[in-house]
Structure 1
Amino acid sequence: MKHILIIMISFLLNGCLSMPETVTPIQKFELDKYLGTWYEIARLDHSFERGLTKVSAEYTLRKDGGVSVLNRGFSQSKGEWKEAEGKAYFVNSADEGFLKVSFFGPFYGSYIIFDVDKKNYQYAFVSGPNVSYLWLLSRTPDVKNEVREKFMKRSQELGFDTENLIWVEH
């Protein structure tokens, strides 16, 4: 009985560490190049980001080898900044773009980097545990049209609902 309970608790705590069947995390991922500030260019809507503009994420290295995450966005309706602090760890290996991220205690969700500007890490395409979660991130508050087009095409091919993307104001 004790083993079953441990398995059930483990499943609940890691239950959101799946990924869409069509998505594959990038290989040869370089965390050092990924650290720093990223601007959210586009996203699918979720309650935790609803109504936010000027959204950014700051990734820094933790002493335990994980990544500290600080997400910020401006709520126009409330006239104030909202912040969420979290932590992330690699799910498999440090050279695969598949991390688990937590903003709420022991509960983790998938963070899958499925495309990145490999040379300079200037943009990234990110998914969550299913095709309801999608982000286009950039080192600058705007991206070139060719990056937008690549993001749209690739995301459509992978089964994401690009018709409902929110293009974030900065």
Structure 2
Amino acid sequence: MIEDKYRWNERYKTLPPPQNPSDLLLRYIDRIKGKDVLDIAAGLGRHSRILAENGCKVDAIEYSDVAIESLRKIIGVNAIEMDLENGCSLEKSYDAILCFNYLNRNLYDFMINHIKDNGIILFETFVFDEENECAPKNPDFLLRKNELLKVFGSLHIIEYKESNVIKQNGQKALMASMAAIKK
């Protein structure tokens, strides 16, 4: 939706985005070195950048014009402008698929069907919790407890946790982190 594009453009222009890559990515980056990677809702490229610097060929999907402009400046990153609300239309399969701080349940099947054998999915986003201070307000954008375990249960889940974290803005949120391999 075009309203989402405007909202994200403003957010990327005015709010400082997270600078450091997720600890989840850092724990598994050696496993995906030199591979084809899909970064879903890549934002300004904090994960795409580190992957490209480590020899990966990264397809980074974003809807925001501001984010696309930032992604296009990163050597080794193919910035793809796409509204993911209706799913993903890419046909390629990947050695790794990343999804951080974004939830679109329409993409679950796409992720499972487009990860190569022995490929890894890294997924980290907000979980519904009454005590969240900085998570999205819309429940459609919040995981239910253990949702990723159920959805990706056909894969070999090598790490899963739900824990309260303090975000860059100093507020807490319940986050789910998952690393899963397709066997």
TM-score by length of 2: 0.28
More strand by share: 1
TM-score by length of 1: 0.29
